[in-house]
Structure 1
Amino acid sequence: MIHIDGVKDNMIANNVDPFEPTHPGEVIRDELEDRGMSQRQLAKKMGMSYSVLNDIINGKRDISVEYAMMLEAALGIDADFWINMQTQYSKQMAKRDKGFLSKLENIRRVAAVL
């Protein structure tokens, strides 16, 4: 978190999470549309099943390092872009999970006593 004296932390753009996190699959969908390519064509080009790619595009499956590298080979978009985007999405989703946040708070309480 970035802190600047005299400015509320939640008013600094780098400290604000997007209202609705963007799954990398949405970016793949946009990229395919811009290129005039179908999901089936990309799946074939990547040597993966259509159903797996469709799950990624619909946000039902995460982009693994292997998938990111395959996307880089097929689309020319750096694997680190996909990996970082997936990580940020996963982190934002975890921050919205009240059960997980409660678990973190319990861990912090136990750790503070040690």
Structure 2
Amino acid sequence: MAVIDAYENLQIVRGTVEADGTKKPGAKWGYKVTKTGTGEYTITFNNDFSETPSVVSTLDGDDWKLLDNAHVTGATIERVTVRTGNSNGEPADRPFHFIAMG
């Protein structure tokens, strides 16, 4: 049986962003957020990752339909864009959580 080395030295940045692009109280360190358009947010990491991180995002709260969405695009070692939308697939401002790891 092969032994797999499953340990990594990971940098983790996490947070919750309000629909207006402000940081929600809680995990507010390690990043800046800029609302760049309707349903579009750029998260800039205070410290670059050594390689492109894995990033996940999901909507925050109970007021959304299952078709409302948040997705990640354009991840680099310095930043990531999160786009949110409504149940019709149109860009819409939504609060969201994210985790970047790498």
Same fold (TM over 0.5): no
TM-score interval for Structure 1 and Structure 2 normalised by the shorter chain: under 0.3
- Return the index of the structure with the highest Cα Rg: 1
Instruction: Determine which structure has the larger strand proportion and give its number.
Output: 2
Instruction: Determine which structure has the larger helix proportion and give its number.
Output: 1
Q: Normalised by the size of structure 1, how large is the TM-score?
A: 0.20
The higher-RCO structure (CA 8 Å, 6+ apart) is: 2
